[in-house]
Structures are given as C-alpha cells and as structure tokens.
Amino acid sequence: MIPVKFDYLAPTSLEEALSALSEHGDDAKILAGGQSLLPVLRMRLNAPEVVIDLGGIDSLRGIRDDGDAIVIGAMTTHHVVRDHELVREHALLLSKAAAEVADSQIRHRGTFGGALAHADPAGDLGAPALALGAQFVIQGSGGTRTVEADDFFVDLFETAIGDDEILTEVRIPKHTGWGAHYEKFVRVAHQWPIVAVAATVKGSIDEARIGLTNMGSTPLRARATEAALAGASATEDGVRAAAEQAAEGTNPPTDLNGAADYRQHLARVLTGRAVLRAAGAA
C-alpha cells in the first residue's frame, strides 16, 4: 500500500528538528532508518502530516569513549554498532545482539536509537541495553534529560520519549572484559525472536546481568537468576539450576509462534545456554 500523503522535512541540525517537532506536535513523526516506520506508514497504521528525517544531522551519528561509559549516537546504524571497536571492547553484549538484528541490508539502514525508540518487545536491542544499564539522553525544546534503562521502556511500543522530544544518544556503562552472549530463538531466519536472552557475565561468575526479549510488553531483567548466579561457578548444573528461575515475573504473549507457557520454557532453556556461553563454559 502507498502511505497517506505527508510533508517531508530534512533538518540539518538538532535545533531545527526540535523546532519542527514542537511546531507540528502530534501531526509529526520522526524518521530514522525507516525500517519500522515505513512499513507502519505503508500499512496506514499511522498517518502523520509531517515526517522529520534525522538523516542529515551528523551530530547524531557515531560512537565515542566518555570515561566510564561509551556513548552511541541515536542515528548510528546496527552495522556500525556491531563492528565498532569500542562496543566490542566495553559492551560486547551489544555487538553480539546487533549482529542478530534482521539481515545485512536492514542493519545498514536501521539505527540504534530508532530501534530503541520503537520499543518493539520483540526487538533485539532493548534487552541488552537494559542488561547493561543504558542511560537514554533525550532532548526537547525545554532541554536535555537522561532516563535510566529501568524507566525508559514504558509499555508495548511506548517509551519515556515525549511527543516533542528526540532520543539523541545512549550511554552504555563500560563492561570491559565481561563475557557476553545473545541467544535468539527464531522460526524463520533474519526475523524477530520468539524469545531471546541477552547475558553478560563478569568472571566465572562474579556477577551476571541478563535481559529477556519478548517475555512481556517491555524488555525484562531475569533478576532471580542474576541473584542465584552471583558468586556461583559456571558449571552446567549450577547455571541450569539458576536459569530455572528465569521466567519469574514474566508475562509473555501467546500468538501464532507459541503459547505463553512455551515462551517461559524457552526463557529458562535459553538463559542457561546464554549464560554458559557468556562465561565461556559451553
């Protein structure tokens, strides 16, 4: 289908984009890589009067070292996130998860900020961002604020970003030397996961941080498993026993790909695999 007609704006600075956003309010929509927005427009699930393309704002692209964190610009593509030296060194989990997003074509167009702002519970980047304790830098005409990962994902396709705000960058606290693995369970290659688990571990195992994809309306932490793994040794039996608690507090959907209880079973199995691989024990 062809989208409903809209005006297209291509600002070259963040200030210009924010002023267009506050001028057009609810009638405007931000365009990043377009890999989720364009299908939505083509299916006429949304019909903005104005589309504001962030593609011409260079300051929103790139990855930099900022002391105890790395900072990823919202318009940085999945492809760049996957391969960037700083990400591999300090946030390996993100590199591994970005490698699992869709296919190469989509990874070259889709952006880190776009995927997180879209907040699809089946999206691959929310759970690793949550597990790593990401901080989201959001700018509006009233100024800049930083939102912690625990408060960023509000509900299905809903985040803390206001209608007149833009996600500009994401700070990822450094997890240098931590092992990491993203275990994604799919029925069809290059698609969103039925369930996925993002695990990163320090040592073997001093501390574990685990995010769950598609186990509720937002990404979730497997906190009971994290607590059970703190100070545990990375043996197959020990990790699998801790992973038995991975589905606690989850509320996964039932759909054509699987029932809620099947997804909870998957979460337990995939958590065991992800942690063992992150710890280098499988």
Ligand X SMILES: Cc1cc2nc3c(=O)[nH]c(=O)nc-3n(C[C@H](O)[C@H](O)[C@H](O)COP(=O)(O)OP(=O)(O)OC[C@H]3O[C@@H](n4cnc5c(N)ncnc54)[C@H](O)[C@@H]3O)c2cc1C
The CA dihedral of 163, 168, 174, 180, to the nearest 10 degrees, is 70
Nearest CB to ligand X, comparing residues 178 and 185: 185
Q: Is the distance from CB of 244 to CB of 232 less than 8 angstroms?
A: no
134 phi and psi angles, rounded to 5 deg: -60, 155
Interface size with ligand X, residues (CB under 6 A): 30
CB of 153 to ligand X, least distance (A): 13
CB of 227 to ligand X, least distance (A): 28
Report if residue 180 touches ligand X, rule: CB under 6 A: no
Site pattern 242..281 for ligand X (x: CB under 6 A): ----------------------------------------
Report if residue 208 touches ligand X, rule: CB under 6 A: no
Long-range contacts of the stretch 16-22 (C-beta < 8 A, 24+):
17/52, 17/54, 17/57, 17/166, 18/139, 18/140, 18/141, 18/164, 18/166, 19/141, 20/50, 20/52, 21/52, 21/141, 21/163, 21/164, 21/165, 21/166, 22/140, 22/141, 22/164
Report if residue 62 touches ligand X, rule: CB under 6 A: no
Nearest CB to ligand X, comparing residues 115 and 276: 115
Q: Is the distance from CB of 237 to CB of 162 less than 8 angstroms?
A: no
Nearest CB to ligand X, comparing residues 35 and 200: 35
Report if residue 72 touches ligand X, rule: CB under 6 A: no
CB of 85 to ligand X, least distance (A): 22
Report if residue 24 touches ligand X, rule: CB under 6 A: no
Nearest CB to ligand X, comparing residues 36 and 271: 36
Q: Which two tokens stand for residue 159?
A: 């985040």
Stretches 8-16, 29-37, 233-241, 255-263: which one binds ligand X (CB under 6 A)?
A: 29-37
Report which residue type is found at 110: G
Site pattern 106..135 for ligand X (x: CB under 6 A): x---xx-xxx-xx----xxx----------
Taking CB under 6 A as the criterion, the residue among 17, 32, 215, 275 binding ligand X is 32
Peptide bond connecting 138 to the previous residue in cis, omega within 30 degrees of 0: no
Report if residue 93 touches ligand X, rule: CB under 6 A: no
Report if residue 28 touches ligand X, rule: CB under 6 A: no
Q: Which two tokens stand for residue 270?
A: 């995939």
Report if residue 33 touches ligand X, rule: CB under 6 A: yes
Taking CB under 6 A as the criterion, the residue among 192, 197, 266, 278 binding ligand X is 192
Nearest to 240 by CA among 249, 229, 250, 227: 229
Report if residue 34 touches ligand X, rule: CB under 6 A: yes
The contact set with ligand X (CB under 6 A) reads 29-37, 39, 54, 74, 101-102, 106, 110-111, 113-115, 117-118, 123-125, 161, 166-167, 191-192
